Amino acid sequence: MNPDLDKLQPYPFEKLKALLGQVNPPDSLQPIPLSVGEPRHPAPDIAKNALLNNLERVSSYPSTKGLPELRQAIAHWAAQRFHLPDESLDPEQNVLPVNGTREAIFSFTQALIDRTGDPLVISPNPFYQIYEGSAFLAGAEQQLLPCLAENDFIPDYDQVSHEDWQRCQLLFICSPGNPTGAVHSVETLKKLIALADQHDFVIASDECYSEIYCDESTPPAGLLQACAELGRDDYRNCIVFHSLSKRSNLPGLRSGFVAGDAKLLRDYLKYRTYHGCAMPIQHQIASIAAWSDEAHVIANRDAYRNKFEKVLDILQPVMKVRQSDASFYLWPETPIDDEIFAQRLFAEQHVTVLPGSYLSRDSDSGNPGANHVRMALVANEEDCIEAAERIKQFIQSL
């Protein structure tokens, strides 16, 4: 077997299962899971109907490149959402449908990394674990940049040495961030583009939470948007990942896209042709419907906005927690060790949260996820309010 498999750590939810398996929750309380970022809001009827009305398409092989109509719908959505110049995002060259961002992030890294060049992948810490796994299995070394409160949970890119930027082949950014919900400014994105120009590395921007934000007038900026403001219509060295999982509550559809540098996507398409990961045609047609409708996305944001407001009213008097810039996560500090907090909360209140240290790695300055937990406000409003009340009661009992 590939010896790099030995570098992989257990997935956070495997660690959580082992931790919670040591205790028994009270049978008198219904379980409320806030640990997994799986949207529970209703999927839009427009997408479900398109799926049902095209089930006969299961009889046909899909193409790896996807339907032209899907690529056109994606290009139109991205251009409108991120204020891109007309026709700068060519559906034929700059867009590629994928089976969700998780699969795409992993496979793109395998296609990109040159193992002969002492490769380095730079990622945030805490981070989405696929960044780490994809780097290791591509034969790269990983450098982690801590996301700390004093820096508004944005990595301090100035701490990366000139030598490490020179070695870097791939920089992962996650904006809005998982688990912090922090958003990179356009100015920061432009700074990273300049660094990519100087040192010739690729920026992979994971933007799958970009459509869940609190201020309707201020959507999070995207990497392609920063390119457009710089007049870089070729999007050189820039790749973005988007998904319908969070935006449209369609995690089971496994539908997203990669967009940006046409040269990179041309070679990535070659890889995917051998990888065998074409999206089913009926899923593509449902995706066209979802990308073409904003009404359900606005309603989705309203639902999260209401939950954030009510949950924060309950929690802020008893713990240090703030409204995240975007995403459906809260990233509060815990008054005790985060593992002990999560375990005791489950044992005493039957509420599940994810220890922040499970989403991070130790460094010379400590673990940036320690003494935090990730709360995903994905349950219905009533359950989120009930969970907040139980968490408040638990903290007050400490």
pLDDT tens-digit readout, 293-338:
999 999 999 999 999 999 999 999 999 999 999 999 999 999 999 9
- Helix, strand or coil, per DSSP, at residue 3: helix
Please tell me what DSSP assigns to residue 89.
S
pLDDT number for residue 98: 97
Under the banding of pLDDT at 50, 70 and 90, the label for residue 37 is confident
* Cα distance between residue 239 and residue 383, in whole Å: 37
The CATH number of 3-42+296-397, from 3.90.1150.10, 3.40.50.300, 3.40.50.2300, 3.90.420.10, is 3.90.1150.10
Domain spans in the chain, listed from the N-terminal domain onward: 3-42+296-397, 46-293
pLDDT number for residue 172: 98
Distances (CA, A) of 54 to 47, 256, 277, 286, 294: 11, 19, 20, 9, 22
Residue 87 pLDDT more than 90?
Answer: no
* Cα distance between residue 171 and residue 398, in whole Å: 41
Provide the percentage of residues in the chain whose pLDDT is more than 70: 100
Q: DSSP alpha helices (H): ranges in the chain?
A: 12-20, 45-52, 68-81, 100-112, 129-137, 162-167, 186-199, 223-229, 244-247, 262-275, 281-291, 295-315, 338-349, 381-397
Mean pLDDT of 237-246: 98
Instruction: Please tell me whether the overall predicted TM-score, pTM, comes out greater than 0.85 for this model.
Output: yes
Query: Residues 260, 263, 265, 271: what is their CA dihedral angle, to the nearest 10 degrees?
Result: -160
Residue 364 pLDDT more than 90?
Answer: no
Distances (CA, A) of 60 to 5, 56, 162, 256, 280: 35, 8, 51, 20, 9
Residue 73 CB partners (closer than 8 Å, separation 6+): 287, 288, 291, 292
pLDDT number for residue 314: 98
Please tell me what DSSP assigns to residue 4.
G
Residue 231 CB partners (closer than 8 Å, separation 6+): none
Domain 46-293 has CATH 3.40.640.10: yes
pLDDT number for residue 117: 84
Q: Using alpha carbons, select from 238, 201, 244 the residue that is nearest to residue 222.
A: 238
pLDDT number for residue 209: 97
pLDDT number for residue 120: 98
Distances (CA, A) of 334 to 25, 254, 318, 370, 379: 20, 34, 10, 9, 21
